[in-house]
Homo-oligomer: A and B are copies of this chain.
Amino acid sequence: MPQYKAPVRDMQFLVHEVFNAEQQYQGLGYSDVNRDLIDAILGEGAKFTENELAPLRVPGDEHGAHWDNGVVTTPPGFKEAFQAFRDNGWATIAIDPRWGGQGLPHSLNIIFHEMCFTANIAWGAIVTLTHGAIRAIEAHASEELKEQYLPKLGSAEWTGTMCLTEPHAGSDVGLVKTKAEPQADGSYAITGTKIFITQGENDYADNIIHLVLARLPGAPKGPKGISLFLVPKFLPDAGNNPGARNAVTCASIEKKMGLKASPTCVLNFDGAKGWLVGQPNAGLACMFTMMNAARLDVGIEGLAAAELAFQGALAYAKDRLQMRAPTGPVTPDKDADPIIVHPDVRRMLMTQKALAEGCRALAYHIALQLDVESHGDDAARKAASDRVALLTPINKAFLTDRGLECANLGVQVFGGHGYIREHGMEQIIRDVRIALLYEGTNGIQANDLVGRKLIANQGRLLRSFLDEIDGLCAAGSSDPQVSAWLQTLSGCSKEWWQLSQELIARGRDDTNAVYAAAVDFQDYSGYVTLAYFWALMAKRAAEQLAAGEGDAAFYTAKLKTARFYFERLLPRTRGLVDTIRAGAESVMDMTADEFFL
């Protein structure tokens, strides 16, 4: 069973050496956030997640969450871990001091989220959801609602949900039917059924604050007629403690492939009392406020799966003795060699390692850009916002696709034992599979990428990112190996731009061709984006190695992994170039009837 060990050294390399986060934090006004503080958070976060969360992962899956007459119970230990999370101050890291928080950069919280997801993704769901609710309230609710709810949510005394989906309205939120009827006291009566509500009912907290999409009377059809409402499970009393029970009930929880310790609820709103958040009919825009952060978190769930599967597979590959190395016995005193000597096992481990570390760099880059988007000056905000907009769909889809790939590799390294539940490897596949679906399926991400993020601005966002990539390439490296990778990257940059221009041109008269190419374009973009971050990391590692500051093994390993990425993973783009250009005909020509004859 994988024993999670937070990859603190790799995190430090990114935060301190590659992205120089300390300097960014200081520039954004976080004057207290220095390297020591960051390292302390990483170290304590590692302890908390390794010791409190990781041991609950496999038993939590085995036990699952349970529903009984509207009451939901999470597996043994989950509630206590949430209490520890609260007691140790993890809830308040990035909460505004106005609501009792520590006011640290959100990016540090995201790194902590990565640890939570890797240790125990089902437990981690609660932190993402509550955090999302906080952001939506902070950005759009009235001062009164903020003062009433944010201190409670910020401290994790209460938890939050997002109630979007209905049985007939999934990817198409515009089909939402839940009704909101204005009441004399300024509140609204919410009526309807929401499904797939993560932690919609739980035993973690005294109260649950639902953010619910619903329609006001006479609202326009479609997405422009949806408003956002805050609906508490218990109505706060005069002392702002949970008072009367509101008319929202959990009708059932879903039986799922994985994430079994995290209840996924059907919620019935039966004239429940709620309050409008933001402007009428602007509910979707309010939801979009927190979309980028939520999608980053989901991408990180993919990274977490890759990391955990890698750690589990690595330990097994060092331990399991089967057959001899192709070049002759490595441990002749034993009956067989550890399977890590086999080239194909190493190929799998290197794939996991290169993807996990590359994906981590991309995710942290976005996390740091989110900080700039919130706290930078106007020009910096605009640039960061563009970057986040471009990279969010790529990050969400690519990290979860690769997370699933790496989870499968983890099982493959274990052989038949990987299929047995007690080893905890197949669970990684089952748990991460949802990440390709929720917060917008990866196909929806691709449509967002080619539609809103590429064609709608004629490639401006991409050009700006490519300029940064080209800058790195132009700066070169004194290390000949890194230099060669930068040349490869420079070619990718030109090719990516060329492909994007072709898609934009094609989109003028053949919309289907754009959307038929979308997922492959997204995949291509992911591999080239990772090549950029691998080049960046390799260049830095080579510099550190040349400077002889110590930790040579770490930098050497980083360069070896970069090489694997460029030689063995980046070539996956070759076929994608062809299929992106293949047009829509072969995709669209089949009639619905012809599919099965």
Binary per-residue interface labels of chain A (18-40) against chain B in the complex, 1 for a CB within 8 Å, 0 otherwise: 00000000000000000000000
Contact between B336 and A172, CB atoms less than 8 A apart:
yes
Q: Does A301 contact B (CB under 8 A)?
A: no
- Whether A255 touches B408, Cβ cut-off 8 Å, given contacts A168-B321, A347-B587, is no
Contact between B257 and A430, CB atoms less than 8 A apart:
yes
List the number of copies, as a whole number: 2
Q: Does A279 contact B (CB under 8 A)?
A: no
Binary per-residue interface labels of chain A (310-335) against chain B in the complex, 1 for a CB within 8 Å, 0 otherwise: 01001000100111001100000001
- Whether A590 touches B512, Cβ cut-off 8 Å, given contacts A7-B596, A172-B323, A574-B574, is no
Binary per-residue interface labels of chain A (188-204) against chain B in the complex, 1 for a CB within 8 Å, 0 otherwise: 00000000100000000
- Which one, B9, B255, B311, B434, contacts A597 given CB within 8 A? B9
| CB neighbours of A443 from chain B (8 A) | 342, 344-345, 348, 412
Binary per-residue interface labels of chain A (582-596) against chain B in the complex, 1 for a CB within 8 Å, 0 otherwise: 111111111011111
Contact between B437 and A415, CB atoms less than 8 A apart:
yes
| CB neighbours of A597 from chain B (8 A) | 9, 553-554, 557
| CB neighbours of A587 from chain B (8 A) | 343, 346-347, 350, 564, 568
- Whether A411 touches B433, Cβ cut-off 8 Å, given contacts A257-B421, A518-B343, is yes
Q: Does A575 contact B (CB under 8 A)?
A: yes
Q: Does A143 contact B (CB under 8 A)?
A: no
Nearest-neighbour CB distance to chain B for A210, whole angstroms, equals 18
Max chain B C-beta neighbours (<10 A), residue from A349, A443, A576, A583: A443
| CB neighbours of A518 from chain B (8 A) | 343-344
| CB neighbours of A590 from chain B (8 A) | 346, 350, 557, 560-561
Contact between A343 and B515, CB atoms less than 8 A apart:
yes
- Whether A511 touches B326, Cβ cut-off 8 Å, given contacts A256-B419, A346-B587, A560-B586, is yes
The docked-state distance in angstroms from the alpha carbon of A29 to that of B441 is 54
Instruction: Give 23 pairs: A residue, B residue, CB < 8 Å, sorted on A.
Output: A9-B597, A168-B321, A196-B416, A255-B420, A256-B419, A256-B420, A256-B426, A258-B419, A326-B515, A327-B512, A342-B443, A342-B515, A343-B515, A343-B588, A347-B516, A404-B408, A412-B442, A412-B443, A416-B437, A553-B597, A554-B597, A563-B585, A571-B582
Not counting A255-B422, A419-B434, A574-B575, a sample of 18 additional A-B residue pairs whose C-beta atoms are within 8 angstroms of each other reads A9-B597, A171-B323, A172-B323, A254-B420, A258-B419, A318-B592, A343-B515, A344-B446, A345-B443, A346-B516, A347-B587, A411-B437, A412-B442, A415-B441, A426-B433, A560-B589, A571-B582, A573-B575
